[in-house]
């Protein structure tokens, strides 16, 4: 059975290693000067700014990174909690999983990732999020898979989901490789 094409960005699943998963999120400030909407599952990066209280600013990352973390929610403010996503050109607070050891699931593009590609690195293909599903449209870009250390994501394997197979639209386990809070490493 073929894998379904259902992009959702990066979805957290666990923390690598023996440390327990705390589910901890960090609050970041999305400035009104940023003309890009944020959705759950989008990768964000610190942008070198903060609000008046010193909360660090973050905006949607470029496909190649670097990434600071992944959007998991929004601080209720009467707008983002009603919409379920962070609108463009609007100031609000976003909740981000910024642990460099966090692991995620992401969908592969129509290109294929095979078992032999586990351990390689790849970038994402950025796509607009959905106001209906409130999820990111980003997917792993199989065409970029390589050993290059600067690539954004490290492929850890196939996500343990029934009916999920290597090939087009596979759901993969990954971790952020080009992380602002950790050193990137070459693929295997």
pLDDT tens per residue across span 55-85 = 999 999 998 889 999 999 999 887 777 788 9
Structure tokens given for 76 = 């209720």
Q: What backbone phi and psi angles, to 5 degrees, belong to 20?
A: -70, 150
Quick one: pLDDT at residue 179?
A: 92
In tens digits, what is the pLDDT along the chain, a chain of 188 residues? 688 889 999 999 987 766 666 667 999 999 999 999 999 999 999 999 999 999 999 999 998 889 999 999 999 887 777 788 999 999 999 999 999 999 999 999 877 789 999 999 999 999 888 888 889 999 999 999 999 999 999 999 999 999 999 988 999 999 999 999 887 776 65
Report the alpha-carbon distance of residue 130 to residue 76 in Å, rounded: 19
Quick one: pLDDT at residue 183?
A: 76
Q: Is 142 helix (H, G, I), strand (E, B) or coil?
A: helix
Q: Are 140 and 124 in contact (CB under 8 A)?
A: yes
Quick one: pLDDT at residue 188?
A: 53
Q: Is 162 exposed, middle or buried (0-12, 13-18, 19+ CB in 10 A)?
A: exposed
Which helix (H) or strand (E) is 172 found in, with range? strand 171-176
Quick one: pLDDT at residue 103?
A: 94
Q: What is the pLDDT of residues 88-98, one digit of tens each?
A: 999 999 999 99
Quick one: pLDDT at residue 91?
A: 94
Question: Which of 75, 9, 64 minimizes the C-alpha distance to 40?
Answer: 9
């Amino acid at each position: 059975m073929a894998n379904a094409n259902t992009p959702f960005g990066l979805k957290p699943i666990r923390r690598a290693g023996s440390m327990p998963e705390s589910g901890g999120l960090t609050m970041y400030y999305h400035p009104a000067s940023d003309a890009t909407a944020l959705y759950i599952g989008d990768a964000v990066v610190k942008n070198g700014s903060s609000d008046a209280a010193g909360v660090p600013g973050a905006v949607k990352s470029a496909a190649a990174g670097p990434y600071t973390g992944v959007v998991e929610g929004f601080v209720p403010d009467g707008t983002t909690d009603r919409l379920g996503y962070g609108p463009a050109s609007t100031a609000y607070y976003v909740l981000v999983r910024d642990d460099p050891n966090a692991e995620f699931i992401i969908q592969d593009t129509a290109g294929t990732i095979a078992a032999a590609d586990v351990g390689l690195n790849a970038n994402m293909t950025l796509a607009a999020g959905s106001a209906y599903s409130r999820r990111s449209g980003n997917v792993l870009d199989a065409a970029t898979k390589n050993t290059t250390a600067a690539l954004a994501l490290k492929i850890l394997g196939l996500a343990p989901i029934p009916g999920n197979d290597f090939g087009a639209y596979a759901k993969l386990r990954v971790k952020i490789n080009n992380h602002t809070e950790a050193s990137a490493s070459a693929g295997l």
